[in-house]
Amino acid sequence: MIYIKKKIYFIITSSFTLIVFSTLILFFYAAFFFEPPAVERKTEENQITKSEESSTLPIEEIEPKKEIVKVDVSEVEEVIVDVPEVEEVIKDSLFATVGNKAITQSDIINEIKIILILTGQSFTEDIKEQLQSGAIQSIIKRNIKKIEIEKYNSLTFNQPDVDKELKKLAGNLYMDLDTFENTFIANGIPFSNVIDQIQIELLWNSLIFELYKNRLVISLDEISEQLKAIQNKKEIEEYLISEIIIKPVPKDKLESTIKEIKNKIKIEGFEKVAMNLSISETALQGGDLDWISENAISEKFKSKIINTPVGNISEPILLPEGILFFKVRDKRKLKKIVNLEDAKNQLVKVEKTKILRMHSLSHYKNLRKSITINYY
């Protein structure tokens, strides 16, 4: 009996010793010789690498930079991207508010595209800051006008005036209307945006006329003097002109400001300076005033324009609303007999336009002071 007990004890002890020894062997094997499968190891290494990289990147590299879209309208590729409207809103971001109007980053990008198309330019880095500044100021000005326009329900515009302006813009780029419209569509800009801009300007002009029509005092003596000068002419000169109007400055800064503007024009070009700095309604078009007959130019400006060679910049003209520069881009002669009555009506219209433009600039300037603009 004792022998059996000893044998059982020996078996149990041996089994326990064997289990302990086997466990030790497996432990040392796992610690020093076992390797995980290649796929799993690679996955772990990738996760560690990505984690390390993300923790060492600068903030500006972690968050993608917002770059201005580089549009070259001479090499447009039409790309159709199907993006849900909600997703597009999420991706966009607020840039500023003008009163109760919001300006987004995409608004600025679209405005830059419109400026590039209307001025016939291609995007380059050297005009990037000018484009951004010009686009922002253009949107701000348009929103301020919209806020004022919305106060009046009686304002209207004529559709033929919209069509006329569209044809003019297309003609400046030597395009027909279909090509003009397709250029915007190919750049991802709804053509309705361009039409809206024109309509806002027409409504603004209508507003200014309603507010200031009783102040349209025309000097008939000056009109008569101009008619005498042209009544015997059979050839009428026309001038292709652009303008820049710089906001008024104190007298002690006048000379230095004029010198600075002239240097900017020399370095950057008239159209770019107009787009970036001019307070005139023509800024978005690079200051373009189109062809103007000598009959339609007031005596105050005529001598400056006539004495400016083609391709040159006129001497600055001081106005209540600012400092005016003309660029004479071209000139031509039209051989026809002048109808004095038509010429008189044209001169009167020009004088009224000049007075209304002065009131327009003044009215906008006052509005600009009263509307809060916040940048984000």
Say if CB 276 and CB 127 are below 8 A apart: no
- Please give the pLDDT value at position 16: 59
Q: Is residue 35 domain-resident?
A: no
- The verdict on 185 and 321 lying in the same domain is no
- Please give the pLDDT value at position 104: 94
* Residue 1 pLDDT greater than 90, yes or no: no
- The verdict on 225 and 364 lying in the same domain is yes
pLDDT, tens digit, for every residue of 25-57?
555 544 444 444 443 333 333 333 333 333 333
Cα–Cα distance measured from residue 176 to residue 161, given in angstroms and rounded to the nearest whole number: 17
Q: Is residue 176 domain-resident?
A: yes
Domain count of the chain?
2
β pairing state of 101-104 and 317-319: unpaired
Q: Over range 267-288, report the average pLDDT.
A: 83
| Alpha helices (H) in the chain, listed in sequence order | 2-32, 38-56, 59-62, 85-91, 105-118, 128-149, 159-172, 177-186, 191-212, 220-230, 251-268, 270-277, 299-306, 340-370
Among the candidates 160, 182, 214, a domain finishes at 214
Band of pLDDT at residue 23, cut at 50, 70 and 90: low
Helices 340-370/128-149 angle, 10° precision: 90
Identify the domain containing residue 340 by its residue range: 221-375
- The verdict on 96 and 118 lying in the same domain is yes
**What is the domain-level CATH number for residue 233?**
3.10.50.40
pLDDT, tens digit, for every residue of 72-106?
533 333 333 333 333 444 457 899 999 999 999 99
- Please give the pLDDT value at position 122: 80
- Please give the pLDDT value at position 118: 85
Using alpha carbons, list the distances in angstroms from residue 17 to 20, 25, 179. 5, 12, 93
- Please give the pLDDT value at position 14: 65
**CA neighbor of 106 nearest in space, from 62, 69, 70, 64:** 69
Cα–Cα distance measured from residue 165 to residue 170, given in angstroms and rounded to the nearest whole number: 9
User: Which range scores top for mean pLDDT: 91-95, 124-128, 210-214, 227-231?
Assistant: 210-214
Among the candidates 160, 180, 214, a domain finishes at 214
Band of pLDDT at residue 220, cut at 50, 70 and 90: confident
Contacts of 316 (CB under 8 A, 6+ apart): 258, 261, 323, 324, 325
Q: pTM higher than 0.85, yes or no?
A: no
Say what percent of the chain tops pLDDT 70. Answer: 73
- The verdict on 318 and 205 lying in the same domain is no
